Amino acid sequence: MDFSPSNHSLSVGEKVTYINKNTAPHTATAKDENFDTGRLTKDMSSTVTITKAGDTNYCCKVYPSMKGKITAK
């Protein structure tokens, strides 16, 4: 259970689509609450727009050991 890829380098305004390919439910939730996909079950997806520059750490609310980072400029 992990984000793949777990680290992204993007520009402000770009979008990221998270797709759950696992049988367990997951979220992609920014630690600073800048985005939250909500609970995604198998084959569901959610697209978020990156709205600020800098590093944004995120995790899964269901499985907090799943972590990632977006670096935006």
CATH code, domain with 61: 2.60.40.420
**CB contact at 8 A, 18 and 40:** yes
Q: How many domains does the chain have?
A: 1
CB neighbourhood size of 51 (10 A): 12
Residue 2 located in a structural domain: no
Q: Please state the separation of Cα 35 from the chain's center in Å.
A: 8
Residue-wise pLDDT for 11-20, tens only, equals: 999 999 999 9
Residue 28 located in a structural domain: yes
For residue 37, give every residue at least 6 positions away whose Cβ sits within 8 Å of its Cβ, in sequence order, or none.
18, 27, 28, 29, 46, 48
Residue-wise pLDDT for 32-73, tens only, equals: 989 999 999 999 999 999 999 999 999 999 999 999 999 999
Residue 27 located in a structural domain: yes
Residue 50 located in a structural domain: yes
Range of the domain at 19: 7-68
Residue 73 located in a structural domain: no
Report the predicted TM-score, pTM, of the whole model to 2 decimal places.
Answer: 0.90
